[in-house]
Amino acid sequence: MSREEFQKAIEEDKFLEWAEFNENLYGTPIPSHTSERDLLLEIDSQGAHSIRKLFPFALVVLILSPSEESLEDRMRSRGDDESHIQARLNLADKEIASAKEVADFEVVNSDLDSAVREIASMIYRARESKRKG
């Protein structure tokens, strides 16, 4: 999608949330279907703040890397551009602090299977609480 198309979609309220980072636009389109199903989003702290405003009772989980070195290694292993890696690392502390403002829970992803189990358990408890509430 071109920048112009993206900006037009913003003007037409076609995103749940959107952000600009490193001169690139990112966003989560509003789903075309409506249902009672869960919607799982992978978003930055700015997106989390936007979602929290739209959906005050949304479950927001902050997933943290075990260390800055681990975060950098993960970005390098997925082939991110060097300038993108440096920009993300330069903002990491600020992003984490901002995300902590809206997060219901924090999970340190030092072991993928454990992190997935922990997050799945949080989702299950949130569903149960919603049913009872």
Query: Domain spans of the chain?
Result: 40-132
Tell if the pTM clears 0.95, that is, is over it.
no
Q: What is the pLDDT of residue 80?
A: 81
- Any idea of the CA torsion for 89, 91, 94, 96, to the nearest 10 degrees? -50
pLDDT digit string, tens, across residues 29-74:
888 766 677 888 888 898 999 999 988 989 999 999 999 899 888 8
pLDDT digit string, tens, across residues 93-132:
999 999 999 999 999 999 999 999 999 999 999 988 877 7
CATH architecture under which domain 40-132 falls:
3-Layer(aba) Sandwich (3.40)
- Using an 8 Å Cβ cutoff, are 28 and 18 in contact? yes
**Whole-Å CA distances, 46 to 20, 31, 94, 114:** 9, 19, 11, 26
